Amino acid sequence: MERICSVTDEALKDLIELAKKAGSDTGVCPVETAFLIAEESIKMSCGKGVMCRDGLRQFYLILEDITNGRGKNEDIELLLELCSIIKECADCDLSYTCASEIEKLINDHMEDFELHIKRKSCKNLICPGCHTVHIDASKCTGSGECIKVCPADAIKGGAGLFSVIVQSKCTACNKCIEVCGAGAIKGAGAVKPQGPTEPAAVGSWGAGAGGEGGGRRRRRG
């Protein structure tokens, strides 16, 4: 079938390059990459082709669910089926390229997709619904930078205090990790670090710290 598309070759190459960066050795999550490819493709789509208009939207919705920890067991099969249908019936290069790259990502990184769906776990600690974010109170200098950037108002702290993340409010967007100059904020997978639940004086938590709340707590059992 002859495919006609107004999207430039350069833009299509960019999608392919994006997919190439995914992998555990590069620290780039293949599932998030598939989501970004769907998202970028939708932005570029002129919406004239059925596969491009409706198919890409389906990719986006399914991958959005998976990256947010709402993936279902049947989603991988569904995505692969969608890839085949779009590749077979695509009337534009954009939808064909998007489907090809997502299909490759799934087949090359099946374990990552399964982990996201079955264990709600992102090995690269990127996908919001598949990891958590924590502050190491012993490293926090109380700068308050993380509080300023948090879009969910999920960080408690104040002048002279180390900060604490309220897990029930945190959306794991990782924005606070990027601004913490002390390297005190880290993502976590299945094993969560222990820490205080309320802010306290900087330096009062961690090995060697004295006073109430000082010292690392051990996990029970």
The reply on whether position 58 binds ligand SF4 by CB under 6 A is no
C-beta of 119 vs 148, nearer to ligand SF4 = 148
DSSP of 183-198: --EEEESSSPPP--SS
Contact pick of 154, 195, 200, 205 for ligand SF4 (by CB under 6 A):
154
The reply on whether position 145 binds ligand SF4 by CB under 6 A is yes
Hey, what's the torsion of the CAs at 104, 105, 110, 112, to 10 degrees?
A: 170
| Beta carbons of 133 and 165 less than 8 angstroms apart | yes
CA 116 to chain centre: 10
- Write down the number of H helices and E strands in the chain: 9, 4
C-beta of 58 vs 171, nearer to ligand SF4 = 171
* Spatial separation of the C-alpha atoms in residues 149 and 196, rounded to whole Å: 21
The reply on whether position 127 binds ligand SF4 by CB under 6 A is no
Is residue 161 helix, strand or coil?
strand
* Spatial separation of the C-alpha atoms in residues 106 and 46, rounded to whole Å: 26
* Spatial separation of the C-alpha atoms in residues 95 and 38, rounded to whole Å: 9
Span of 14-22, 78-86, 109-117, 136-144 interacting with ligand SF4 by CB under 6 A = 136-144
The reply on whether position 180 binds ligand SF4 by CB under 6 A is yes
C-beta of 54 vs 198, nearer to ligand SF4 = 198
Least separation in angstroms between residue 86's CB and ligand SF4 is: 34
Least separation in angstroms between residue 124's CB and ligand SF4 is: 15
- How many Cβ atoms sit within 10 Å of the Cβ of residue 96? 22
The reply on whether position 164 binds ligand SF4 by CB under 6 A is no
C-beta of 100 vs 143, nearer to ligand SF4 = 143
Contact pick of 56, 140, 164, 200 for ligand SF4 (by CB under 6 A):
140
**By the criterion CB under 6 A, which residues form the site for ligand SF4?**
133, 135, 140-146, 149-150, 152, 154-155, 157, 163, 165, 170-176, 179-180, 182, 184-185
